[in-house]
Every structure is written in C-alpha cells, then in structure tokens.
Amino acid sequence: MTRIDAKFAELRAAGKKAFVSYVMAGDPNYESSLELVKGLPAAGVDIIELGLPFTDPMADGPTIQLAGQRALDGGMTLEKTLQLAAEFRKEDDTTPIVLMGYYNPIYNRGVETFLTDAKAAGIDGLIVVDLPPEEDDELCIPAQKAGLNFIRLATPTTDDKRLPTVLQNTSGFVYYVSVTGITGAAEAQAGDVGPEVARIKSSTDLPVIVGFGINTPEKAQNIASISDGAVVGSAIVSKMAESQSVTDTLAFVKSLADGAHQG
C-alpha cells in the first residue's frame, strides 16, 4: 500500500473528502517553495502535487506557465525538485507527494535512474500529462513496478470507448479534468462534473478527484460533494505570486481545504 492508498483509506474511514494542492517546485525560489510545501499538511492538505518545472508546459495556463518559468529562471531542476521532496520527508513521512509534470526531464535523466531517485526522495505517485496510455511501457508500468502510483487524467472528452484504456494501468486515483482547455482558464461547475464523476466511478474502484477551475472554498466544497475530493492549483500559485507571503498563501490554502472537507 502506498502513502496515497493509505491516505484515501484514512479519509474514507473518517467520512471525509480529499483536498489536494498543487504548488510549483522552486517558485518563487527554492527556499520559499520548500517552506510552503512544509506548511501544507498543517493547512489541511491531504495530498501534495509538486509541479516539476518545464519549458513547454502545454496543458497549463499562464499562471502555472509563469510559475514554472520563475522556477527555471531561479535554477530549479529535476534534481532540485527531488531534493525538495527529500527535505520535506525529513519532517513528514505520511503526507503523499505526487510529482506532476512532463516526460522530457524524466526521459533525459533516464527512466530507471529517475524512478530510483524519486522513490528515494519520497515521491509516491506520478502525473505525466503528455504520456498517453499507448506509451505505458515507457514509464507507467516501470513506475508501478517500482512502487509508485501512476495517476491518469480523464477529461470531458474521454468517452466510454476511451475510458477503459485510460483506466487500465491507472493507480492511486483518477484525476478528472473538469473543463476542456488549460489550467486556470475556466470554472468547474458541479452540475456538469457530477454525472461525469459518476460515469468514471462506475468503471473503477479508484477515488476520482476533480481539478481545474476550482478557486474558492465554496467551489472546493461543491466539487468535493460530488466526487472524492478537489484539487486546487492555479489559485494557490497565483496567491503566492501576488502576496509573496508563505503565511498568507497557507491561510488561503486552509480556507480551500476547509471547504473541500465539508464536501
């Protein structure tokens, strides 16, 4: 059982929904992002999505693109991202960390080396948005053999014919993208999302977590009420960019987490 599996078992036993937060590693700098990540569990975050900075983040909107660019400009690398996770693990051995990004940095490092290093750093799962199921032999299956969950995205365009392929080697949870398009570009609507979550859950026993377009405690609560939990990314990244304050950002995160936990 991975930390992700254990966390969902714990939440189910408590009758709670999950709150998942995305932050970009190295934004605005290594020290501040490490401080932010360390503070997330106390702010109510159940699972941390740690963004891996990349030069061509095609699924991400301007907010996360700019965060990645700031991180890269500050010298952030895959090596330093894993170092940040390892530093977090010195104080917290239970909160799951999902590394979210694109395949190129992993490919450049070498899959076997990357998986060994990620496991050693305390990474629990991967979301690699530009690797479709047809490429599962590339990273997904080796990752699962190494003890890491491989989390797949389902979207409003994932029809009943495609869904079994998407779910085939998915583990940990299913990440349902609530809107078509890039991160931060539109708002999630519970009325639209609910039937889609139910459709996915009829085909899998995995938790279904909903992200994209959630930016207030009320929306987090509404989305969590019709799913197994909510993910917030762009709104948290934007708050950090605007306030330049880890304390203020964590207070915002707590308000989102409180909303999701009431779902």
Catalytic residues: 49, 60
Structure tokens at 162: 């495609």
Do the Cβ atoms of 123 and 85 come closer than 8 Å?
yes
Do the Cβ atoms of 190 and 175 come closer than 8 Å?
no
Angstrom distances, CA of residue 116 to CA of 84, 91, 197, 245: 16, 21, 34, 34
**Rounded (10°) CA dihedral 221, 18, 27, 212:** -50
Return the biggest CA–CA distance within the chain.
46
Do the Cβ atoms of 126 and 148 come closer than 8 Å?
yes
Do the Cβ atoms of 263 and 17 come closer than 8 Å?
yes
